Amino acid sequence: MQEIPIPIEAPITRERVVQGLARAPDAAGVLMDLLAALQAMPVSEALVAESLAYGLLQGSAEHARWLDAREPVQQHAPGRVLLERDGDRLTITLDRAGAGNSIDVSMRDGLREGFELAALDPDIARIELRGIGKAFCVGADLAEFGTTRDPATAHAIRMATLPALAIARCCKPLAVHVQGACIGAGLEMAAFAQTLTAGRKAWFQLPELAMGLIPGAGGCVSVSRRIGRQRTTLMVLSGQRISAEVALRWGLIDRIVDD
């Protein structure tokens, strides 16, 4: 059986980690090298390094195989991001419940603009991020994967549009509440919060390795700063879900509260 580079910790299973390593060994290697390097970097520089590593894998054979083999993805109407001001608080809401609040281009741009607005307005002292519906966010819209195949172009687009960069630059307290599924890019953004709460039925997942990729919406930076390099590696290599109770024990969330 394939050697595991780090100790296994429940509820992550050895079998799922081995499967992940066998499916995408190149992406797994990039992940572990990147997480080791990020520890000494400021957040802004770490996000650039993550984007470069993600772009490298966008041009890989592992990701190309996933693109060629994937099933057709259901198309949904474009999403939107709602901004609501109440005194010194700005509430940013993901509004695409019919698609699990999956983040498409329009929502990505809306999130970026919302956090940039909060950073520029001196009267906004705190920010809340929410999602409408049963799921907080099921991640990036899979229908848009592969639309930009050139890694350099994709990196340039991320540097101009990535919400995580705006979140990191905002420097104002961010509170996030998660209900239901919190997957991929949704978790990667939420993990930047100063206060991250979740409902009892919430669950968390980083499934990117199955696509020949690593978290590329800021998660290698945000998640590893919450739960450490080892547990982040386990989540990515296995692709397994973890419950709200496990997330609380690991420090991924701060409290479990009613939705």
Which residues, other chains included, contact 227 with Cβ-Cβ below 8 Å and sequence gap of 6+? 235, 250, 251, 252
pLDDT at residue 71 in the model: 87
Helix (H, G, I), strand (E, B) or coil at 146: coil
Q: How much of the chain exceeds pLDDT 90, in percent?
A: 91
Helices (H) and strands (E) in the chain, counts: 10, 9
Binned at pLDDT 50, 70 and 90, residue 1 comes out as very low
d(CA 111, CA 113): 5
Helix (H, G, I), strand (E, B) or coil at 2: coil
pLDDT at residue 2 in the model: 65
pLDDT tops 90 at residue 75: no
In DSSP terms, 203 is beta-bridged to: 181, 243
Q: Would you list the domain boundaries of the chain?
A: 14-70+80-256
The label of the residue with tokens 């799921």 reads: 135
Pairing of strands 126-131, 89-95: parallel
pLDDT tops 60 at residue 4: yes
What does pTM read for this prediction?
A: 0.95
pLDDT at residue 72 in the model: 85
d(CA 50, CA 189): 14
pLDDT tops 80 at residue 3: no
CATH superfamily membership of 14-70+80-256: 2-enoyl-CoA Hydratase; Chain A, domain 1 (3.90.226.10)
pLDDT tens track for 188-241: 999 999 999 999 999 999 999 999 999 999 999 999 999 999 999 999 999 999
pLDDT tens track for 125-178: 999 999 999 999 999 999 898 888 899 999 999 999 999 999 999 999 999 999
pLDDT tens track for 76-123: 999 999 999 999 999 999 999 999 999 999 999 999 999 999 999 999
pLDDT tens track for 35-64: 999 999 999 999 999 999 999 999 999 999
Which residue type is seen at 174?
A: L
d(CA 16, CA 4): 11
